[in-house]
Structure 1
């Protein structure tokens, strides 16, 4: 099973070299067949040059694209999700806030259980966050509580972008609507609503060392709410038109 790793990158010339080196070394060490797909989201710094150098000299599994526009986190991820070649695909952050060892755990869990998706959880047992800003944490926990209550689910980290999906799952939750960070909510909620199976695996999160976060919390509230309402409407009023055709397995598998 070939793994694709989609990484959106905007002005990440400092973060990308250590991130891509560690990611490649980890996947190679564990013998995971893979490709690393970076979407350069029209960066204004040396991101493209860094990608060219790394692909030519150090990381043979690296492929990269430049998204000409429209730009934004969601658009960059979607650009990669339309072009990956693997049997499954993970969304991974360019700043190494996600741990490549956790990605291997996600991949092994999918192999062992054959679930349609594997979701990370930073807040449950064995999850871990390092240097997480207090205000961001407060908003994160409130937002995820609202999602759980509105959607009637137990999963507690919907806004966590770090997730793994089978190719068939990605195809089954199209078309994508979100141009920004609300894509991180759209993908898992659609998968859940449409009856795809998933496992939950604890993961860690570490604050970035270089550059600045692209997430602007003040701008995202209404966009998250829009996607939440869209998925809620689909859950109760779509008459199952978009559900996964084979529903023999239960829609949720929780694993610690």
Structure 2
């Protein structure tokens, strides 16, 4: 069974597009954990009015440790009870037709399956130029420098094994770098990691909550953390 974590912030009716895609594209038995910051979020009444129209369970989870996507993801990971835990954004930017393949990889024994825009057959369409350049450069260079088994370590679209998550101390305090931190620590701790090609399209509705310049130092911290730890192991310090 699959727990899907979706942080939300005033998504309005855009959340229904995501629910439609989850229902149509993901065959695995699933629950969706909608993590929200405040009771006035415009996403909530729409979910309550429409959730009976979907075949999967939709659970509303209050983020009670501090507003923001980072804390919402943390709360979702703590709330999840199933062994497969998928993190995705509410803006329908990631194509979900690869989720069942990601689940199959985990059934084969992998502990972390990364959606990868920068491997063969992966794709990124639209979005800010500098953000795309940064994530592509970071992902490919870290793969080359450390042999971490993904070309897209910064992507938030990842499937985690719950028992692995429970053993990793999460220290992120910025934003979406949590996915990078977990991937780096999983690699250093010897967990099995793989990737599948994924496709990402710039959001069609609303505004992105990604703040590149604010969060860049946090990404760089875990980027260089991975290099230091892996090179130390190899005696390249």
With the length of structure 2 as denominator, give the TM-score of the two structures.
0.88
| In 2: Cα distance, 1:72 partner to 1:163 partner | 19
1:178 aligns with 2:178: no
Query: What is the CA-CA distance between 1:132 and the residue it aligns to?
Result: 3.6
User: What residue number does 1:252 align with?
Assistant: none
Query: What is the CA-CA distance between 1:76 and the residue it aligns to?
Result: 0.6
User: What residue number does 2:18 align with?
Assistant: 19
With the length of structure 1 as denominator, give the TM-score of the two structures.
0.82
1:105 to 101, 108, 117: 101
| In 1: Cα distance, 2:170 partner to 2:158 partner | 16
Query: What is the CA-CA distance between 1:135 and the residue it aligns to?
Result: 2.5
Query: What is the CA-CA distance between 1:53 and the residue it aligns to?
Result: 2.0
Work out whether residues 159 and 184 of structure 1, in 8 Å CA contact, stay in contact via their aligned partners in 2.
yes
| In 1: Cα distance, 2:145 partner to 2:91 partner | 31
Work out whether residues 123 and 157 of structure 1, in 8 Å CA contact, stay in contact via their aligned partners in 2.
yes
Give unmatched runs, 5+ long, in structure 2.
Answer: none
Query: What is the CA-CA distance between 1:218 and the residue it aligns to?
Result: 0.9
1:86 to 61, 82, 93: 82
Q: Relative to 1, partners in 2 of residues 1:142 and 1:26: Cα closer, same or farther, differing over 3 Å? A: closer
2:29 to 27, 30, 33: 33
1:67 to 48, 52, 63: 63
Q: Relative to 1, partners in 2 of residues 1:234 and 1:72: Cα closer, same or farther, differing over 3 Å? A: farther
Query: What is the CA-CA distance between 1:108 and the residue it aligns to?
Result: 1.9
Query: What is the CA-CA distance between 1:100 and the residue it aligns to?
Result: 1.8
C-alpha root-mean-square deviation of aligned residues, in Å? 2.3
When structure 1 is superposed on structure 2, of 217-226 and 132-141 the one drifting more is 132-141
Partner secondary structure for residue 209 of structure 2: coil
